Amino acid sequence: MTLPTFLGIGAPKSGTTWLAKCLGEHPQVYMAPAKELVFFDYGDYDQRLPEYERHFAGVRSETAIGEFTTRYLASERPAPRIRELIPQARLLVCLRNPADQIYSHYWHLLRQNFHQPTVQADWTFEEALERFPHLLLKPVRYWDQLQYWLGFFPAEQFLVLLYDDIQRTPEATLAKVFDFLGVDSTFVPPSTTERGTAVRSGAAPRSTLAGRVHARVYTQLNRWFYQPLKRSVGVRRAHQLKEAIRIRHLLETVFFRRGYPAMNADTRKRLAREFADQVEGIEQFLGRTLGEWK
């Protein structure tokens, strides 16, 4: 049975897509072809093990094998399951200034209609904070989540990375990751300084109408194309086909423009106050001051 030796467990919108891509370019690292496998968070995960293993069928001589699922960090299901199945797993955690992470995640969820297939999701950021705290606020309670995971794994099996470092010193950040995984830390992946889709600098609708049309198109494509495709050919193959067709990139090109509008200053201050205890806990764990997060 071939299973991962490391897992990226979160958080969303914190540079994980870039990191997963760079890891996949390392000759000593094998990354599952699809990101967000969600295996350890499924209710029937124990029945899906053969399906999960197929994601790693391409492993040859690589010494580090991994996958990224950003929802793992905020969920209570994965930690005990991973400990049972892969007790020595190395765990990568990417974190970002909570206010910025929430804001970026808001625009991401807006593109996906907030997972509301029958509702026209055009809520403002402030409205979404009130309506979807489980989607927007729960994922950034970093310290609470990390403490929970530390109840299952020793601290030395974690490597916590900061989005700020990914942006400012990508090569040094990758060298730290490679060293943590026990592979050649001098290797520089081609995507190290990429500023394309893997970096995800952010995009907002070109207009309110564009956002509404995109939400409707996205919902219909998911319902009538992607979900039937997964049932027909399996999750892994469906993901590969979706990426090859590049539907998401096409939709974003048509309906979105790069960058976000500025967040309301009062909203940013409120979020900083709300998550001050989480930032303080991470500071103590890292032994590092995170002044820009306050």
What's 155-181 look like in SS3?
A: HHHEEEEEHHHHHHCHHHHHHHHHHHH
Determine the Cα–Cα distance for residues 200 and 8; give it in Å rounded to an integer. 18
Identify the pLDDT of residue 4. 98
Q: Does the pLDDT value for residue 99 go beyond 80?
A: yes
| 293 burial via Cβ count (<10 Å: 0-12, 13-18, 19+) | buried
**How many Cβ atoms sit within 10 Å of the Cβ of residue 158?**
17
Each domain of the chain, given as residue ranges in start order, spans 6-99+140-199+278-293
Identify the pLDDT of residue 254. 65
Mean pLDDT of the chain: 88
- Sorting pLDDT into bands at 50, 70 and 90, what band is 207? low
Identify the pLDDT of residue 256. 64
Backbone φ and ψ for 95, nearest 5 degrees, come out as -125, 155
The phi-psi region of residue 12 (left if phi > 0; otherwise alpha if psi is between -120 and 50; otherwise beta) is beta
Determine the Cα–Cα distance for residues 163 and 70; give it in Å rounded to an integer. 14
Identify the pLDDT of residue 212. 66
In terms of DSSP H, where are the helices of the chain? 16-24, 49-54, 78-85, 98-111, 125-131, 133-136, 142-150, 163-168, 170-181, 208-221, 227-233, 235-245, 247-255, 265-274, 276-286
Q: Does the pLDDT value for residue 64 go beyond 90?
A: yes
Identify the pLDDT of residue 194. 77
- Of all residues in the chain, the percent with pLDDT exceeding 70 is 80
**How many Cβ atoms sit within 10 Å of the Cβ of residue 184?**
14
Measured at the CA of 99, the angle between CA 38 and CA 254, to 5 degrees, comes to 70
Q: How distant, in Å, are the alpha carbons of 6, 33, 140, 203 from that of 101?
A: 24, 25, 8, 14
Q: Which residues are 6's β-sheet partners?
A: 66, 90
Tally of CA atoms within 13 A in the half-sphere of 128 that contains its CB: 23
Measured at the CA of 199, the angle between CA 281 and CA 257, to 5 degrees, comes to 115
Q: How distant, in Å, are the alpha carbons of 30, 63, 107, 176 from that of 27?
A: 8, 9, 34, 16
* Segment 107-132, tens digit of pLDDT: 888 877 787 766 666 789 999 999 99
Identify the pLDDT of residue 198. 43
| 59-78 per-residue burial string, b: 16 or more CB within 10 A, e: under 16 | eeebebbbbbbbbbbbbeeb
* Segment 242-285, tens digit of pLDDT: 666 766 667 667 666 666 789 999 999 999 999 999 999 999 99
Measured at the CA of 218, the angle between CA 214 and CA 224, to 5 degrees, comes to 145
Specify the higher pLDDT residue, 274 or 224.
274
Q: Could you tell me the pTM of the whole model?
A: 0.81
* Segment 190-205, tens digit of pLDDT: 999 875 444 445 665 6
Q: Does domain 6-99+140-199+278-293 have CATH number 3.40.50.300?
A: yes
Q: Which two tokens mark 219?
A: 């919902």
